[in-house]
Amino acid sequence: MRKTESAMRLLTTFLFGLLIFVANVGSASSAKVLMLQNNSQHIAYYAQTYLDPESLLSAEKVWSSQGAFSPVNQNQISVEVGSGEGFWVYLAIENPQKVALSRILEIDYPLTSIAEIYQITAGSPALLERISLEQTMLARNIIHRNPAFQFVFQPLTKHEYLIKLQFHGKANHALELNPVFYTTGGFYLRQLTVHIFFAAFLAFLSAVAIYNIILSSKVGIIDHAYYSLYLICYIFLVLLYEGFIFYFPAPIPVQWVVAGMSLVPIYTSVALMAFGQKILRLNRFYPQLDQYYKYLSVGLLVLSPITVLYIAWLNLAMELVGAVAAFALGVLAIMLHQKGLRQAKYFAISFVFIALGYGVESSLYSFSAMSWFNTPNMSFTIGLVEQYFFYLCAIIEMIFLALALASYVDQMRADKELAQAEALAQVEEKNKIKSRYTKQLESDIAERTREVREKSLMLSDKNEKLRELDDLKSRFFRKY
């Protein structure tokens, strides 16, 4: 009996200790395992994360503190990060197939300062590869604007990995990651598609911007220059936010890129406001509001250098003020369209697509919204929408802004033709008046000439009679 009680106590102690061990140490080992398939797969749902605020922890220290990892359970990793903060991801991967599988892992954030991959071997992490923004992209194993790593998984094997990520913060410090394991063919096909799309998009914006600059210099309409400036700002937005600017042969200081990500949206709003003021003729319909927009634009331009100080609330406030003021022009366009301003219709429609693009992108980048879609197919669909929908809306927006500009130029031409017609009518009326005056003057001169001639004849007759009278008098006096 005593032996049985001792055995029960020993078993209870063992189970209790095992429970504590699992609770404190076994979190990572009990994580979901990503079973590799024959297609590309999102990994966030299977990952566990750990925040390293000071970026001081080594891989060994993090691995020994597995209990601090938190499961993601979503198809997107949402993080609040500041410049220099570290972030660790634990992932267990199994290849259940009888053939080796090659995969490429893409971390979809260009401003990842450091990305390191550790494989857990014999109970300790071993560094496989390190990517840093301090080195040019041409030095990476996979030349890509985002950190990307090549893996080969042998048949019927299971692997554990630690991924260290260190980010540079954005203006709003919000970051959403959607890392994906691509098949090799799928990765390069996707990158080819993405780069062709963005190359066409940037070529479209550049061509339209250059064309409008030429038009502005030839016809002297400043609105073409404002439209070109807006397009140029948009080009820099794409280069900065999509990471294409990192394709330069020499690495660009990431501080410059982060500063540009704060400055360019402000300049874009100012360019759009200046363009809208001219197109909508605010100085004619709402002169006080036009003056307010001028002061606001100057204020934003003067304060914009402050954004390089990375004061999050101030940067966000300036971006919001510029965005709200620009969107207010869309509301004004609707009001002016009701007053009969033709170009206001196209301007208002362009803002519908701006709002649609921003709204859908903001919704899909929302962590809570992503929780509605936890199926792999929906995740890929949402990824495509995130990648292309906003820029497709931007293309449509640019087209309608161009239509607004063309309508504005047509209106200016029509006003000019009307003014010329009115001036011509006034000239013709003056010519008619002058002709009538000339004819009247000629008639008066002729009449006066006739009167003078008649008087001259009368005077001549009188003179003749006087001469005859003088002759008679002379003859009379000579006779007598």
Q: What is the pLDDT along the chain (480 residues), one digit of tens a residue?
A: 444 444 444 444 444 344 333 333 444 445 688 899 888 888 888 888 888 877 778 889 888 877 678 888 777 777 766 656 788 999 999 999 999 999 999 988 888 888 999 999 988 999 999 998 887 777 888 888 889 999 999 999 999 999 998 887 654 455 678 888 999 999 999 889 889 999 999 999 999 999 999 988 888 888 899 999 999 999 998 988 888 888 887 777 877 887 888 889 899 999 999 999 999 999 989 999 999 999 999 999 998 888 777 777 787 788 888 888 988 998 999 999 988 888 999 999 998 998 888 777 666 655 444 444 545 555 555 666 666 788 889 999 999 999 999 999 888 888 778 888 888 888 888 888 888 888 888 888 888 888 888 888 888 877 777 777 777 777 666 666
Is the Cβ–Cβ distance between 70 and 22 less than 8 Å? no
The pLDDT of residue 173 is 52
Residue 452: left (phi > 0), alpha (psi -120 to 50), or beta? alpha
Q: Distance between CA 394 and CA 355 in Å, rounded?
A: 10
Packing angle of the helix pair 376-479, 254-279 (nearest 10 deg): 40
Using CA atoms, how far residue 163 sits from 34, 91, 131, 406, in Å, is 15, 8, 11, 52
Using CA atoms, how far residue 332 sits from 236, 344, 349, in Å, is 28, 8, 12
> Is residue 127 helix, strand or coil?
strand
Helix (H), strand (E) counts: the chain: 11, 13
Q: What is the pTM of this model?
A: 0.75
Q: Distance between CA 159 and CA 117 in Å, rounded?
A: 12
Task: Provide φ and ψ at 5, rounded to 5°.
Answer: -65, -40
> Is residue 379 helix, strand or coil?
helix
Q: Distance between CA 173 and CA 171 in Å, rounded?
A: 6
Give the position of tokens 């102690």: 13
User: What are the beta bridge partners of residue 174?
Assistant: 80
**Encoding tokens for residue 64?**
């020994």
Is the Cβ–Cβ distance between 363 and 396 less than 8 Å? no
Report which DSSP code applies to 311. -
Is the Cβ–Cβ distance between 467 and 475 less than 8 Å? no
Is the Cβ–Cβ distance between 46 and 33 less than 8 Å? yes
Listed residue (88, 259, 50, 273) closest to 170, CA to CA = 259
Is the Cβ–Cβ distance between 348 and 334 less than 8 Å? yes
Cα Rg of the chain (Å, integer) = 42
